[in-house]
Amino acid sequence: MSILFKGSEIVRLAIEIEKNGQSFYQSAIEKTKNKETQQVFRYLAEEEKKHQQKFQRMQKTIGEFQPAESYPGEYLSYLKTLADENVFTRKGTGKEVLRGVNSEVEAINLGIGLEKDSILFFQEMIPLVPRKEQTTVEELINQEKAHLQQLSHLKAKITRS
């Protein structure tokens, strides 16, 4: 028999990722003097806040789910591994991650990693939320992809200069 787990725990991790992302981008503003980069970081911090609010609303509708598995606990183990590898699932790590960062490009690279990790985690969340919520998660994934592109373009522009 497969292990049942609460989808709300996965959504709680998503909320923490977004909180830490917001904290990260707000703190990253201070790491650069470039106005365009500050503007992008400010925008991304606000976006992360909006995503957090969407996940908080979603959390109220989440129950227990039993995804298809090859063996009991397979999916939970996989998601736990993803969560453990994503530094932003731990409370209060958003600002802390920037401590050793000394350049604008380093901050952008960390943002790129954050967005990639978030996309992967959120994609794996889809089977764990009710059908009516899956569209919301997919929309958030698309927004995270747009953030990734924005950061990549910004990095390319800065490194060309």
Give the tens place of pLDDT for each residue, 53-68. 988 888 777 655 555 6
Neighbouring-strand partners of residue 6:
64
The segment with the largest mean pLDDT, out of 13-17, 121-125, 142-146, is 142-146
Q: What is the pLDDT of residues 98-138, one digit of tens each?
A: 888 888 999 999 999 989 988 988 898 887 777 778 888 89
Dist CA 28 CA 40 (whole Å): 10
Contact 55, 15 (CB under 8 A): yes
Write down the CATH superfamily of domain 5-160: Ferritin, core subunit, four-helix bundle (1.20.1260.10)
**Could you give the CA distance from residue 148 to residue 80 in angstroms, rounded to a whole number?**
24
